[in-house]
Structure 1
Amino acid sequence: MSTTIDAEFEIDSWDEKPYAEPPEGPKLTRIVIRKTYRGALAGTGVAEVLTAQGEGGAGYVASERIEGTLDGRPGSFVIQHGGLADGDEQSTFGAVVPKSGTGELAGLSGRAVEARHGVLTLEVWFGAGVGAEDG
């Protein structure tokens, strides 16, 4: 059975460094984002983000390690997420990296259902070995 969690977060730091700024085409940037999560997901996250920003279109991919407690279970896990924008059209995607969970989150799986300003919505499954009550 899955659990849906709305994880509110604040951005603590944003370190952005362009690595390609061609005269034509999208600007490419690397960003390190540090976050604090509160609520059913409580802890910290560090995301390494790569972006492409052009006229009218943009995209990003990110790997984010989150450490803390998820639904009362301590540990860490990694999510990979991204998004594309083409004018007013936007789409996002994301998932928990398989076997990335540690502590009581070992065996965690799931997906990032939605990401919006200040909230990451996760749909997660606590697999075998995740929390004593799950057996």
Structure 2
Amino acid sequence: MNITVQAEFEIDSWDEVPYEEPEDGPKLTKVVIRKTYRGALEGTGVAEVLTAQGSAGAGYVASERINATLDGRQGTFVIQHGGLANGDDQSTFGTVVPNSGTAGLTGLSGRATEAAHGVLTLVYAFDS
């Protein structure tokens, strides 16, 4: 049975380094983001993010390790998520990396998206 939770997060630090800034086309950057999660997911996350930032469109892909308590279980897991923006049209996608859960979060699977600013939506289950 899948459970859906929404966990609010705050960004504690945002360290962005451009690695390509062409005269024509989007700027490419690498960002390290540190977060604190509260609510259904209590803990911290560190995301390594690659972005493409253009004047009319943008996108990102990220791998994030989360160290937290979820459903009374403590451990770590990794999510890979991303998003695209074409003007006002935005979409996000994400998943829990299979078999990435440790300690009490071993067996965690599911989807993870950041469709709302400052909120991670996690649809998850634990292997029996």
Asked if TM exceeds 0.5, the reply is yes
Task: Give, in whole Å, the separation in 1 of the partners of 2:7 and 2:79.
Answer: 13
Question: Which residue number in structure 2 is paired with residue 74 of structure 1?
Answer: 74
After TM superposition, the structure 1 = structure 2 runs for residues 1-135 of structure 1, keeping only pairs within 5 Å, are 1-128=1-128
Secondary structure of 1:94's match? strand
Deviations 1:87-114 (A, max 9, x none): 1111100000000000111111000244
**Alpha-carbon distance in structure 2 between the residues aligned to 1:123 and 1:28:** 30
Cα contact 1:108–1:125 (8 A) shared by 2: yes
- Letter in structure 2 aligned against 1:31: V
2:75 partner amino acid: G
Distance (whole Å) between structure 2 residues aligned to residue 120 and residue 113 of structure 1: 6
Q: Check the 8 A contact 2:81/2:113 in 1, yes or no.
A: no
For 2:113 and 2:14, the matched residues in 1 are separated by 23
CA separation of 1:18 and 1:114: change in aligned 2, threshold 3 A: closer
Gaps of 5+ in 1: 129-135
The one-letter amino acid of 1:21's match is E
Q: Percent of counterpart pairs with the same letter?
A: 76
Structure 2: how far apart are the matches of 1:77 and 1:115? 20
Aligned AA (2:121): T
TM-score, normalised by the number of residues in structure 2 = 0.97
For the aligned residue pairs, the C-alpha RMSD in angstroms reads 0.9
* Cα distance between partner residues in 2 of 1:30 and 1:114: 18
Instruction: Verify the 8 A CA contact 1:57 1:85 in the aligned structure 2.
Output: yes
> Which one has a bigger Cα radius of gyration?
1
Q: Which runs of 4+ in 1 moved over 2 A?
A: none
How many residues align structurally? 128
Q: In 2 relative to 1, CA 91–33 (structure 1 residues): closer, same or farther, beyond 3 Å?
A: same
